[in-house]
Amino acid sequence: MGEKNWVDFKAVKAAVTMQMVLDHYGVNWLRKSGDELRGKCPIHGGEGERSFHVNAGKGAFHCFSCQAKGNVLDLVAAMEKCSVRDAAVKLAEWFTLAQEGAGPPATKMAAAAAKNGAEGAAAVINPPLGFQLRVDGEHAYGVKRGLAKETLAHFGAGLCMSKGTFAGRFVVPLHNELGELVGYAGRAVDDREPKYLFPSSEKGFHKKYLLFNLHRVVKEMEAEHSVVIVEGFFDCMKVHQAGFPCVALLGSSLSAEQEEMLGAHFNRAVLFFDGDEAGRGATEDCLNRLSRKLFVRAVDLPDGKQPDMLDERELRELLEV
């Protein structure tokens, strides 16, 4: 599984320039304006003659009309309506990149992906959910956890009013990289077990392919800014509420897939894990692995503390550089 999905985002980003991708799509209508190229957006088409901006030096694009933005991987993902992972595989295939280090050669990987069909692969891992739960965002539990109404609404979190597995739990929607709803995570508001509930792997859901809140953060933040990485979705909502872009691992271990996604989207990160053994272990592991791909620093919390217990002033003191 791990091998089949192996793709070196960093190598792809380093090897493929914006111009190469624009040429691939036959985008020849952009005109120079200062350091940038500007013109009609190849993603949404549209009317705005100059809404699409490319900074070739930074390897970044931004459409001020459809709000698509990011690096070469994000551009291909937007053009192909696929995940960043599939975009990297496509780029490796188009430009027959020789991959360094361990893992199968890109061409072999791309051939395997083509055989499965990009959509076939996506249908297996975290497939979009065909329905939504009814959620009461005004339920007292959210407030008890220190979350404002606006924050709960932003995340679509609240008490599950629908019948079924998540009935009566505090739920939060989970999205894939494209922002499609793929399931819900639920926390018990009483003594019921398990305390935390995730969608079933039998339905194709795998936490390790997901970074909670990634799709929003990618849209909202600039790559030069730091993303805060936390363990749980309550931590994430609290950190967001304090004004910092944040994603959650949904646990205290970083999967290889999450590592790739972080490397693909961000240049800087702050590790902000629980003040316990699991959290410190995660900090050490993440410092080792992520610092090869991005600038990483870690916040050390005292024993027994976790980010969602802190108030906004405390969060700001720890997170502001």
Nearer to Zn ion, 46 or 105 (CB): 46
Residue 302: CB atoms within 10 Å: 6
Question: Contact between 43 and Zn ion (CB under 5 A)?
Answer: yes
Phi first, then psi: give them for residue 113, nearest 5 degrees: -65, -40
Q: Closest Cα partner for 16 from 107, 100, 77, 91?
A: 91
Task: Find the binding residues for Zn ion in span 179-208 (CB under 5 A).
Answer: none
| Contacting residue, 10, 44, 139, 280, with Zn ion by CB under 5 A | 44
| Beta-bridge mates of residue 50 | none
Instruction: Output the smallest distance, CB 246 to Zn ion, in A.
Output: 26
Q: Closest Cα partner for 239 from 295, 177, 319, 300?
A: 319
Question: Contact between 37 and Zn ion (CB under 5 A)?
Answer: no
Distance between CA atoms of 160 and 134, rounded to whole angstroms?
A: 6
Instruction: Single out the segment in contact with Zn ion by CB under 5 A; choices: 62-70, 99-107, 184-192, 257-265.
Output: 62-70
Instruction: Single out the segment in contact with Zn ion by CB under 5 A; choices: 58-66, 237-245, 250-258, 305-313.
Output: 58-66
Nearer to Zn ion, 62 or 206 (CB): 62
Question: Contact between 79 and Zn ion (CB under 5 A)?
Answer: no
Instruction: Single out the segment in contact with Zn ion by CB under 5 A; choices: 57-65, 156-164, 217-225, 254-262.
Output: 57-65
Check: CB of residue 230 under 8 Å from CB of residue 249. yes
Question: Contact between 63 and Zn ion (CB under 5 A)?
Answer: yes
Nearer to Zn ion, 52 or 233 (CB): 52
Distance between CA atoms of 218 and 46, rounded to whole angstroms?
A: 22
Nearer to Zn ion, 43 or 269 (CB): 43
Check: CB of residue 5 under 8 Å from CB of residue 257. yes
**How far out from the chain centre does Cα 274 lie?**
20
Nearer to Zn ion, 79 or 299 (CB): 79
Give the number of residues in contact with Zn ion, rule: CB under 5 A.
6
Instruction: Single out the segment in contact with Zn ion by CB under 5 A; choices: 44-52, 71-79, 142-150, 158-166.
Output: 44-52
Instruction: Single out the segment in contact with Zn ion by CB under 5 A; choices: 41-49, 76-84, 162-170, 256-264.
Output: 41-49
Q: Closest Cα partner for 219 from 179, 171, 257, 259?
A: 179
Indicate the helix (H) or strand (E) that contains 282.
Answer: helix 277-290
- What sign does the CA torsion over 138, 172, 176, 150 have? positive
| Contacting residue, 66, 188, 189, 299, with Zn ion by CB under 5 A | 66
Give long-range contacts, CB 8 A cutoff, 24+ apart: 221-225. Answer: 221/245, 223/60, 223/70, 223/71, 223/265, 223/266, 223/267, 224/267, 224/268, 225/268
Nearer to Zn ion, 66 or 79 (CB): 66
Instruction: Output the smallest distance, CB 53 to Zn ion, in A.
Output: 10
| Contacting residue, 16, 22, 41, 228, with Zn ion by CB under 5 A | 41
Instruction: Single out the segment in contact with Zn ion by CB under 5 A; choices: 12-20, 56-64, 102-110, 132-140.
Output: 56-64
Residues that bind Zn ion (CB under 5 A): 41, 43-44, 63, 65-66
